Amino acid sequence: MTKTGDAAKPPMDLELHAESLLDTIQTKRREITIGAVVIAVLVGGFLLWQQQKRANEEKAELALANPASAFFQGNAALAKGDLQKLVDRYPDTPAGVQGAMMLAQVQFQDGKFDEGVKTLQKAQGSSAAGPFDAPIQALIGEGLLDGKKYVEAAKAFQDAAAKTSFAADKDVYKADAARALTLAGKVEEAKKLWMELSANRESPVNAEARVRLGELEGKK
């Protein structure tokens, strides 16, 4: 027999359950929609950032071309101004970091050792400095060495050796550190480095290491 009237209505608890389920679905749908919009905005922002980053890198590369050419041709005076502009304008690009390394060498040539070291230290803070980390540290060592800060130079060269993953470069930087230590009068520390380098026949500084070690042994 078919139920009519109140008897035909679904139980109240079923109605409440259905309404609650619909509310939950609508709430989740809003959350999902909002989440999708947020993700879309983030992805869009990331892609835009990448495009802007690449555009800046390309501009920096173009800005580096002329002063780099002048630098390698030995015209430091011509290169200096453009390198400074490049470093100031595009510090967080690979070209900007390379420009800073060239600018520091020009400053060293001018006898401005502290200024050159500061230029390199600033470049170390660049987000693009990673691949240049060890060479930058070695250049800092050169600036300190030229400025007759031998102990600090030795440490900078040893730090460069620790940073590089190339065995040949590591040995070259250790040799630089040994020379700086010798100039600083720290003969025993220098001898330890030369002994290490002289024991490796594959080292690019093996021959020098044996000569330097002999010289230091002769000073006893």
Q: Which tokens in the block code for residue 60? A: 């920096």
- pLDDT value for 39: 62
With the C-alpha atoms ordered 32, 34, 40, 46, is the resulting torsion angle positive or negative?
negative
Give me the amino acid identity at 140. I
Could you give the CA distance from residue 81 to residue 93 in angstroms, rounded to a whole number? 18
- Total Cβ atoms within 10 A of residue 21: 10
- pLDDT value for 76: 85
Query: Within the chain, which residues score under 50 in pLDDT?
Result: 1-3, 14, 16, 21, 46, 49
- What's the pLDDT tens digit per position in 99-122? 999 999 999 999 999 999 999 999
pTM of the model: 0.76
Asked if residue 147 lies in contact with residue 181, where contact means CB atoms within 8 angstroms, the answer is no
Which residue is associated with the tokens 């990448």?
Answer: 50
Asked if residue 177 lies in contact with residue 171, where contact means CB atoms within 8 angstroms, the answer is no
Could you give the CA distance from residue 87 to residue 90 in angstroms, rounded to a whole number? 6
Give me the amino acid identity at 67. P
- pLDDT value for 22: 52
Q: DSSP labels for 61-94?
A: HHHHHHHHHHHHTT-HHHHHHHHHHHHHH-TTSH
- pLDDT value for 20: 59
- pLDDT value for 161: 97
Question: SS3 for 190?
Answer: helix
User: How big is the CA angle at 213 (ends 208 and 215), to the nearest 5 degrees?
Assistant: 95
- pLDDT value for 55: 83
- pLDDT value for 189: 96
